[in-house]
Amino acid sequence: MTELTGLLLLAAIVAFLVRWVARRDTPGVDGALSRAVDAFRLGEGLAAEEELTQLRESVRGWRACRKVAQVLMDAGALEPALEFARRGLEDKPNDAALRRVDTLLRASLLDKEGIDALAGHVQLNPGDTEARSALARLLLRVRRLDELIALLKPDVVLGRDTVETHSLLGRAHYQDGDFELARLHLEAAMRLRARLPRDTLLMYDANVIGGHDVKVVVSERWEAEHDRLLLDQIATGEAGSPRARLEPQDSASSPAVIPQPDDAARTASFDDADAVTEALSAKAPTGQGAP
C-alpha cells in the first residue's frame, strides 16, 4: 500500500510539473504567434521570420502545432502553417483536425493531390462550409470548371443562393464561354450584394478604420469590382476577345465600393428570388472549354 501511495504521489507531481511547464511556455508561444501574424499581415517579412524562428524553437506537442498551423493559415501564411501542420502530424497522424488543416493548406498551395484530397473531404463532410468555399475557389483558379459547376449548381437549384455561389458560378461560365449564363449569375451576385444590411456595411467601414480584417474588406470590395468588370465586358461584347481582362486593372488601389441599392437597377428582372432560381437552374452548363 505504501509503495502504491508513493507511485500515485509521484504521478501527481509529474502531472503538475507538465501543466506548469505548459502554462509557463504558453505566453511566449502566444506572443510570438501574435507578432508573427501581425508581421505577415503587414508584409514585414524579416520580422515574421524572426517570430517563426522563435515559434520553431518553443512550440512543443501536436496540439500546439495544430493551433499555430490554424492561426497561420487564417493569416494567409500558408507555407509556415503547413510546416507546423506536418510537425503535428508526425506526433499525431490520425488527428482529424490536423489532417483537415494539412489538406486545406496543400490544396491552397495548388498541389493537385491536395485539391483532390480536399474534394474528397468536402464530399464526406458537406457541412464543412469553410472547406467547401476554399475548394470552389481553388477549382476556379486551376480551371477545373466542370467540377466547380457540379459543386455549386445544386445550391442554386435548392435555393441556397449566396453572393459567393453566384459570383463563382458566373466566373466559371464566363471562362467556359457561356456568357449568357455568366451574366445571369453575376447579376444575381450583384443583386444579393445590394441587399446587404446597412449595418453590415458600416461594420466593414469600422473594421477598415480600426485596422481590423482589412484583407476581408478589401477582398469583398475587389470581388464586387471584379464581377462588375465581367458584366461590363459581356454587355459591350468584349467578353471572349483577346483584350478581355478577367480581373480589375488596378485591384490594389481601386475603390471598388460595395454596391448600394441603386446598383441593382441593372438587375430589375431578378427581383423575385424564385424567378432567379428557376432561370438559373433551368439552363444546364455547356461543359465546353473556353474558346
In the block, residue with C-alpha cell 500546439 = 64
Instruction: Classify residue 233: in a domain, yes or no.
Output: yes
Pull the grid cell for residue 163: 453572393
pLDDT along the chain (291 residues), means of 10: 61 56 56 86 85 90 93 90 94 93 92 93 91 93 94 88 92 92 94 71 50 53 87 87 54 34 36 48 45 34
The residue count for the chain: 291
Instruction: Classify residue 180: in a domain, yes or no.
Output: yes
- Look up the domain containing 194 and give its range: 145-291
Contact 273, 160 (CB under 8 A): no
Instruction: Classify residue 128: in a domain, yes or no.
Output: no
Per-residue pLDDT, 119: 94
Alpha-carbon gap, residue 281 to 286, rounded angstroms: 13
Helix H or strand E encompassing 131? helix 129-141
Inter-axis angle of helices 273-282 and 145-157, to 10 degrees? Answer: 140
Alpha-carbon gap, residue 22 to 33, rounded angstroms: 16
Identify residue 62 by its one-letter amino acid code.
W
Instruction: Classify residue 163: in a domain, yes or no.
Output: yes
Instruction: Classify residue 227: in a domain, yes or no.
Output: yes
Instruction: Classify residue 220: in a domain, yes or no.
Output: yes
How many distinct structural domains can be found in the chain?
1
Quick check: helix, strand or coil at residue 100?
helix
Instruction: Classify residue 114: in a domain, yes or no.
Output: no
Side-chain half-sphere CA neighbours of 6 within 13 A: 3
Per-residue pLDDT, 262: 36
Pull the grid cell for residue 126: 458537406
Per-residue pLDDT, 237: 86
Helix H or strand E encompassing 122? helix 112-124
Alpha-carbon gap, residue 170 to 212, rounded angstroms: 30
* Inter-CA distances, 223 with 54, 197, 210, 232, Å: 36, 18, 22, 14
Cα 280–284–286 angle (5° rounding)?
A: 125
Instruction: Classify residue 194: in a domain, yes or no.
Output: yes
Q: How many CB atoms lie within 10 A of CB 122?
A: 20
Name every residue whose Cβ is closer than 8 Å to that of residue 283 and which is 6 or more positions away in sequence.
Answer: 180, 181, 184
